[in-house]
Copies of this chain bind each other. A is one copy, B any other.
């Protein structure tokens, strides 16, 4: 952990740099698999499952028997916890429903916006060493609330040909029916192009390793929408003299344990807190099971001391962190100045881990500075908004002349005529 004090503005860019992600060298191998899946469908999926997952599958679709087995393997406390998370996520995402009011922009001219679910969406859930059943909740719940008709979930099988029971339990619990045991690039290809077994979708959501990420980028260029550009997870924590060093250290480590390329930053105007937090990090790191990963991530971490809150918030907005924890008593002072962040955690009792699982907000968030432009996954990610308009005879009488005038100025006389021909009929009446 490097402590940087009162950096010059010219050094910001360098200080706030992220680990470079470049998937271009993977493109050939990823592209080859995608083409194969596109051309050979299920056969290609079987080949790659054997090659990468070391398993020979007869059927990709998860059966009722497999779901029943997963139900038995998940204990009651975990079921209860998943139930709590589900309830909170449902409440919050349900509150994001927008009912398009009808706006009469001119007498006789009515406009409205209607949210219509994207019909076919695909959710990718990684398996392997870190099966993320929480991501099933984060993607499946808004997809269900939005009303998407066809929700496909792909997740890799283990060597025993089975899917992680927590993933299966959770998917079934929230009502997902189409679960397929396919992972990696081949799963992205299957959802992008469709195979005999796996239906094609319009938009693909979910995290994954660098191959999965490269595959999502590639099918995105071919017209399949994706949730967000991917990058390593990251957190910025704001501390001051009211902060609890042990809390902050725990938050920094909870981010650092995600991966070696995770980013962990602390910002403060209080020099003293940096040493206190550093000591706590060392103490807590020593007993952390994922110590090796966290240590590697901490190599790139920085504690930045600045001279004013304004300067700090400018810097953080320039960094645009995925997660921002304002771990101080008087968080309002900072909160108002947040412009670029994925999700913000306020006060001393709001760890980022809470948002990863159960507050109700979504944990699929923009990384790598994309919080400047993009929202995290929310209900809108699963709908498109279609505009409707209805003009009465009186309405066209009112706005018709303006349209004629503007269309004529743009030399689009066919446009003008579509109005004239109606105005003639209205005024003749």
Taking beta carbons and an 8 Å cutoff, which residues of A are in contact with B? 77-78, 80-82, 84-85, 87-89, 91-92, 95-96, 98, 101, 103, 105-106, 109, 111, 113, 116, 118-119, 129-134, 166, 202-203, 221, 223, 225, 229, 244, 246-247, 250-251, 253-258, 284, 288-290, 294, 331, 335, 338-362, 366, 370-376, 378, 380, 384-393, 395-396, 399-403, 405-407, 409-419, 421-422, 425-426
A134 to B403, CA, bound (A): 10
Known pairs A98-B98, A347-B391, A376-B387 / 19 extra A-B pairs, C-beta < 8 Å: A80-B405, A81-B405, A84-B106, A84-B399, A88-B399, A109-B360, A129-B411, A132-B410, A247-B418, A257-B414, A294-B414, A335-B388, A342-B387, A343-B387, A344-B388, A346-B390, A355-B389, A357-B402, A358-B406
Contacting residues, chain B, for A357 (C-beta < 8 A): 402-403, 406-407, 415
What residues on B are CB-neighbors of A338 within 8 Å? 116, 386
- A117–B417 Cα gap in the complex (Å)? 38
Bound-state CA distance A414–B291 (Å) is 9
- Pick from A340, A341, A360, A413 the residue with the most CB of B within 10 Å: A360
Q: How far is the CA of A142 from the CA of B231 in the complex (A)?
A: 30
20 contacts between A and B (CB under 8 A): A78-B405, A87-B105, A91-B103, A106-B360, A132-B410, A202-B372, A246-B421, A250-B417, A250-B418, A257-B412, A257-B413, A290-B411, A345-B389, A346-B388, A350-B390, A354-B391, A354-B399, A354-B400, A373-B384, A378-B385
How distant is the Cα of A362 from the Cα of B82 in the complex, in angstroms?
42
CA distance A329 to B115 in the complex (A): 24
For A251, give the chain B residue with the smallest CB separation. B418
Query: Which of A355, A386, A405 is packed against the most chain B CB atoms within 10 Å?
Result: A386
Are the C-beta atoms of A88 and B116 separated by less than 8 Å? no
A359-B105 in contact given A352-B418, A388-B344 (Cβ < 8 Å): yes
A419–B350 Cα distance when bound, in Å, is 9
Partner of A391, one of B246, B349, B380: B349
Inter-chain contact A347/B418, CB cutoff 8 Å: no
Q: Evaluate contact between B84 and A417: CB separation under 8 angstroms.
A: no
| Copies of this chain | 2
Are B335 and A250 neighbours in the complex by a CB distance under 8 Å? no
Is B359 a contact partner of A109 (Cβ separation < 8 A)?
yes
Instruction: Evaluate contact between A349 and B393: CB separation under 8 angstroms.
Output: yes
Chain B residues positioned under 8 Å from A81 (CB to CB):
401-403, 405-406
Report the minimal beta-carbon distance from A225 to chain B, rounded to whole angstroms.
5
The reply to whether B339 and A361 form a contact with Cβ atoms under 8 Å apart is no
Specify which chain B residues have a CB less than 8 angstroms from the CB of A378 in the assembled complex.
113, 385, 387
Interface centre among A87, A103, A339 (most CB of B within 10 A): A103
A383's nearest neighbour on chain B, judged by CB, is: B375
| Docked CA distance A118–B340 (Å) | 9
With A410-B131, A413-B289 given, is the CB distance from A422 to B373 under 8 Å? Answer: no
B351 touches A422 (CB 8 A): yes
Question: 9 shortest A-B CB distances, which residue pairs?
Answer: A105-B360, A88-B105, A81-B402, A257-B414, A351-B418, A353-B415, A81-B405, A361-B387, A375-B385
Among the listed B339, B362, B384, B405, which residue makes an inter-chain contact with A374, where contact means beta carbons less than 8 Å apart? B384
Min Cβ gap A331→B in Å is: 8
Cα of A88 to Cα of B399 in the assembled complex, Å: 10
Q: Give Cα distance in the complex from A401 to B290, angstroms.
A: 21
Cα of A401 to Cα of B229 in the assembled complex, Å: 32
Instruction: Please state if A389 and B349 are interface contacts (CB–CB under 8 Å).
Output: no
Cβ-defined partner of A389 (8 Å) among B111, B284, B339, B343? B343
How many angstroms between the C-alpha atoms of A63 and B387 in the bound complex?
37
